[in-house]
Amino acid sequence: MDKCLYYINMSFWKNVDDELKFQGIERKELASLADFDVSYIGKGISRNSIPAADLALRIAKALNVSLEYLLEVPETSYAKKKENSTDINKALHLYHKFSSHLTELEKLTSKERETVLILMQTINAAHKK
């Protein structure tokens, strides 16, 4: 399987699930909004597949996100022209992915947050060696 296609397969349904959690939407509600059988989500995850293009687009529209965001499509020359849009999508994706951690960080004092950030930098530097 093409490396790029494999990556897209792995990320599509996980991104859909992450977005559902973020928006507080149940799978059944998404299925109703995008007009598909709710079992497609579970099957897509277990089979590591992506839906047909028309369904993927309906899902993106129902979630009010870009199809590129759900697919995590590698940057193309077209995407480079829309760099600001891509940056916003990346920022949104990171926010969705780490929002619970950010909430926990906000509960800490500024000194505690600084300590956590130093710890993260130390771990990151150790992995680069």
- DSSP assignments along 42-77, one per residue: HHHHHHT----HHHHHHHHHHHTS-HHHHHTPPP-H
Residue range 46-80, pLDDT digits in tens: 887 888 899 999 999 999 888 888 887 765 545 45
3-state class (DSSP) for residue 36: coil
Q: Which residue has the tokens 């992450």?
A: 18
Q: What is the pLDDT of residue 22?
A: 85
Phi-psi region of 11 (alpha: psi -120 to 50; beta: other; left: phi over 0): alpha
Residue range 82-128, pLDDT digits in tens: 555 667 777 777 777 888 888 888 898 989 989 988 998 999 888 87
Would the pTM of this model clear 0.75, i.e. be above it? no
- Can you read off the two tokens belonging to residue 9? 């397969």
- Can you read off the two tokens belonging to residue 44? 């897509």
Of 90, 63, 68, 92, give the one whose Cα is nearest residue 78. 68
Q: What is the pLDDT of residue 54?
A: 93
Residue 74 and residue 46 in contact, taking contact as beta carbons nearer than 8 Å: no
